[in-house]
């Protein structure tokens, strides 16, 4: 499965490893993704999402229902 957050859409970024001699080689900065199950009482079901830790903080703050509604409104097809 791809390394994409299903709520925020965060993806791996590309950058350089820079050595002490200033040699540069390509590297990837992967988002901190966690697989997490959420219960949605309105639909009376559990869903499993692959979310970044920053998305988990947003879900804890605003609630899963509000976050899902906003993600669907933004055109996120993964949810």
Does an H or E element contain 65, and which? helix 64-73
Query: What pLDDT is stored for residue 2 in this prediction?
Result: 86
The pLDDT-based confidence of 74 (bands split at 50, 70, 90) is confident
CA distances from 22 to 15, 25, 27, 28, 49 (A): 14, 10, 15, 18, 40
pTM for the full predicted model: 0.84
Using an 8 Å Cβ cutoff, are 33 and 8 in contact?
A: no
Residues 55, 7: Cα–Cα separation, whole Å: 6
Question: 10 Å Cβ neighbour count for 7?
Answer: 23
23-70 pLDDT, tens digit each:
999 999 999 999 999 999 999 999 999 999 999 999 999 999 999 999
Handedness of CA 61, 65, 69, 72 (dihedral sign): positive
What structural domains and CATH numbers belong to the chain? 13-73 (2.30.170.40)
């Amino acid at each position: 499965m791809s390394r994409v957050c299903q709520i925020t859409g965060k993806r791996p970024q590309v950058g350089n490893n820079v050595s002490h001699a200033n040699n540069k080689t390509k590297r990837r900065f992967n988002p901190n993704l966690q697989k997490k199950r959420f219960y949605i009482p309105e639909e009376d079901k559990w869903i499993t999402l692959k979310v970044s830790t920053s998305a988990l903080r947003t879900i804890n703050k605003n609630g899963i229902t509000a976050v899902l509604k906003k993600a669907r409104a933004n055109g996120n097809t993964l949810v």
